[in-house]
Homo-oligomer: A and B are copies of this chain.
């Protein structure tokens, strides 16, 4: 059976795709260009990971996110913070309803491709605190997709949603996921800045797993 894997090119989405591959799914790789700061680098990583797994690639252009703004990732006048955000606050890197939009478009592509699953690398446990990465949201969005699509059941799988970053690194290493090809930094496209929340969470995962990040 076929899965639409939403693949930014980062560690988490690559690990989620590795799990889909382990589950013997035929995979389609779906990338969104929403004019995020590091899109050039992310797109490069996406292409390499998709090729590594032999996945049919889709790149969907979403220029409107820049007009919406309200996020340090799409409004370049808002600085990317160099520390983790407070646990009870939505960080300025939150992009309004990004995963809702991504999953809706993925559902349309699943209808086209005859896929019955959308795979997303969302992480709730050890995350940046984005509301659209919570399992409760993902379940509600899955229900909406089931009711609103013409073609049967399309499931949302978020295999990392309850994993810590340490567990994600361990899982990716166990599956020989090509972490050397991935990119997670929110800020830079040459060397990971090491201080944005995405870099910090990635480093935490590698440190706790006792492994070396191959991109450093």
Task: Using CB atoms and an 8 Å cutoff, list the residues of chain A in contact with chain B.
Answer: 58, 60-65, 67-70, 90, 94-101, 103-105, 107-109, 111-112, 131-132, 134, 136-137, 140-141, 143-150
Contact = CB atoms under 8 A, between A and B. Distances in A.
A111 B111 CA distance: 28
A64 B68 contact: no
Nearest to A130: B150
Contacts of A149: 96-97, 100, 131-132
B141 A111 contact: no
17 contacts: A58-B67, A68-B108, A69-B112, A70-B111, A94-B150, A95-B108, A96-B111, A96-B149, A96-B150, A97-B107, A97-B148, A100-B145, A131-B150, A140-B144, A141-B148, A143-B143, A143-B144
